[in-house]
A = this chain, B = another copy of it.
Amino acid sequence: MKKNKKESIIKSARRLFIQKGYQSTSMRNIAKDADVNLALVNYYFNSKESLFDLIYNEIIEKLLSDIQISISEDNTTIENISYLIDIYTELPIKNPELTSFIFFEIYKNPSKLTSKIIKIEHFQKAINIFIQTARRDMNKGLIRQIDDPGILLFNVLSISIVPFLGKPIIKNTFNIDDKTFIAFMRKRKEEIINIFNIYLNPPK
């Protein structure tokens, strides 16, 4: 439990920022949680905002790199979709509170994301690969002709990431525990893949 104090500040800050958001997390919260003097937080990280930015960027990069490694032109479109759904089903199972953090913090300050545009170029690149692969598979007759593969990708991401945004709603509404919820999500994962499989199957 000794450990480097700087590290434990980051650890506490990450946990609290993700759990309660920027506004609801105070520097005193962080200091107390890390078992460290308040002034030390400002000593290492000059301000609350810069500490937050550190954690924010860290998370965005992780998320974008995940989407990148799952999409490849060596895959079929169906495979790309399956991997995407899999990753974005499993990732929030491991980090249950991450998605709503992302959404809300971006929502409140979209420009912060724009400043990370360099990393987003990789994201855009992955999108292009997905679209090109889909066009290729359309020409091959492997999948149905669709207007805009970008919308398809968007729909895949939408449907896979939403449960974890709405987790508290779902858990409360249907009155289920964490284990049941995760089982529900895994079952749903197969179902979603099935939906896109059937949808993309070219009509005879």
Number of copies: 2
Most buried by B among A23, A147, A152, A168: A168
Q: Which residues of B contact A59 (CB under 8 A)?
A: none
Q: Shortest CB–CB separation between residue A94 and chain B, in angstroms?
A: 18
Of the four ranges (under 10, 10 to 19, 20 to 34, 35 or more), the interface on chain A belongs to 35 or more
Q: Shortest CB–CB separation between residue A197 and chain B, in angstroms?
A: 9
Interface of A is mostly: helix
Please provide the 4 A-B residue pairs with the shortest distance between their CB atoms, ordered closest to farther. A110-B168, A158-B162, A23-B23, A159-B159
Query: What are 26 A-B pairs at a CB distance below 8 A?
Result: A21-B104, A21-B108, A23-B23, A23-B24, A100-B104, A103-B104, A103-B166, A103-B169, A104-B104, A104-B107, A107-B167, A110-B168, A110-B169, A120-B173, A123-B173, A148-B191, A151-B187, A151-B191, A154-B170, A155-B188, A158-B159, A158-B163, A162-B165, A165-B165, A195-B196, A198-B198
Binding site for B on A (CB under 8 A): 20-21, 23-24, 100, 103-104, 106-108, 110-111, 113-114, 120, 123-124, 146-148, 151-152, 154-155, 157-159, 161-163, 165-173, 184, 187-188, 191-192, 195-196, 198-199
